[in-house]
Amino acid sequence: MCALIAGLMCLVVRVGPFVFETSQGQRGLLAVTVLAFLLVLMPHSPPVFAVATLAYLAFEGGVRHLLVPAFGYTRADPLVLVGAGIVVLFFLSSAATRSVPFDTRLSKLVAVLLGIMILQIANPIQGGPVVGIAAALFIIVPLLWFYIGQRYGSASVLRSVLSATIVIAVLGALYGLNQTWFGYNDAEKAWIVASGYDTPERVVSFFTSFPEYAHFLGIGCAMTWAAFLRGYRMALLPCLFLFAMVCLSSSRGLLLGTLSTCIALLAVQGPSVRSWIPRAALALVVGAMGLIWGLQEIQQTEFDPQANKLLHHQTQLLNPERSTLAAHLTMIAGGIVAGFENPLGRGLGGTTNASSRIGESGGQTTEVDVIDMLVSLGLIGGIVYIVLLVHVFRTVLKRWLERRDLSALQVFAILFFGFGHWLQGFEYAVTMLIWFSVGAMDHQAALTERRSHEIARLRPAGDSL
């Protein structure tokens, strides 16, 4: 790893004078510098590295917007490759030293899934290996965060990451509120014009896209609700603020996802798995009644013109003619059919923009990664991914039942809310958070299991004394 960092710094010194005059070159030098800095932090201060990396990936969009007046705009921005550079270099370094973990069920499932994904890079149906390599940035790179979480995801590091997530969500909501009511600054306006962003009413805060901003709002709301349920009463204040921003996001899917996650968190407060189902049913009924009442009240209340516009979109949940549920179900059904029509898979580019932009055939994303994996990886790959998801939830919920640990509950909130979007590679901070947390949970579960085995092994000797 040290040799890689030294090589990056030499690259900056060598090629800097030649590329600094171009927009991509300027951004590229900045990206390499940030990459080298984060790689130095990784082994020496894992908590600082994890928080700094999450913060960079979250604020990446804002940084890119601010650079437009000075450096110009480029669609192929090297700054978005910093996260990919970290995980790829870490994985290659681990593979070279034969230190890739393969000692837990979860790590074995991840390795099998990764192997299938690598094979699918060369699938000719997607349009060729170039498409597969481009698509790997959106599918394989998020998965590789598992290995960094597995290596460095101790209990203290994970707590630092989860705390930073809430802070970032609140800051993002505050800045999104500023953009909603006071508009974009000059740099952001320049970015909107240059990039062709056609829905400026859906603010992005300092994130790279509206979906990532929206998902961070939902994740932050769910995590603070989890903290409130565990006795941290002051967490209710940021929870209510973030929920209000969820309502103002004009995303019906986000609203339903946030409420569903809060219901699930309330359900798992029961003492046993058997008690979760009736608790969930009761919470679902109360939540549905509250949602319907709230939407009806919004329809009859006058707000600020901007708020009226955003909230009116949410009230369309009660209008079946304006619902997009049928369209989403059609895409999911089409993905399932495509998976059985091509049981060997369509390749990684079969469900990403890489296929439509580079390849000969367009991607067929269903907006649900479970179905996307069935299409991209084929029946075997899709089944492996489903088994992996089941085992992830089993690991997290087992730790929650055994320890009643807030970190486990908040990780469950992240995973439940993000279900169906764990491999949405264009949401750089969200996917890092998901798979780093999964790796950390696996790391802690394996550590607990080893300690239990050691105690069990030593107990007979102690009894004989």
| Regions of the chain short of the pLDDT cut 70 | 1-21, 295-326, 353-364, 459-465
Amino acid 465: pLDDT: 39
pLDDT at position 296: 65
Amino acid, res. 115: G
Q: How is residue 454 written in tokens?
A: 């050691």
Degrees, nearest 5: CA angle 315-320-326: 115
pTM beyond cutoff 0.85: yes
pLDDT, tens digit (0-9, with 9 covering 90-100), for 23-35: 777 888 889 889 9
Query: Half-sphere exposure of residue 122, counting CA atoms within 13 Å on the CB side?
Result: 4
pLDDT given at position 386: 95
pLDDT at 256: 87
**Are 238 and 170 contacting, i.e. CB atoms less than 8 angstroms apart?**
yes
Q: What is the 3-state secondary structure (H, E, C) of 163-217?
A: HHHHHHHHHHHHHHHHHHHHCCCHHHHHHHHHHCCCCCCCCCCCCCCHHHHHHHH
CB 131 within 8 Å of CB 355: yes
Number of H helices, E strands in the chain: 18, 0
Domain borders along the chain are 2-453
Distance CA 360, CA 158 (A): 42
Question: What is the distance, to the nearest Å, from the Cα of residue 301 to the centroid of all Cα atoms in its chain?
Answer: 35
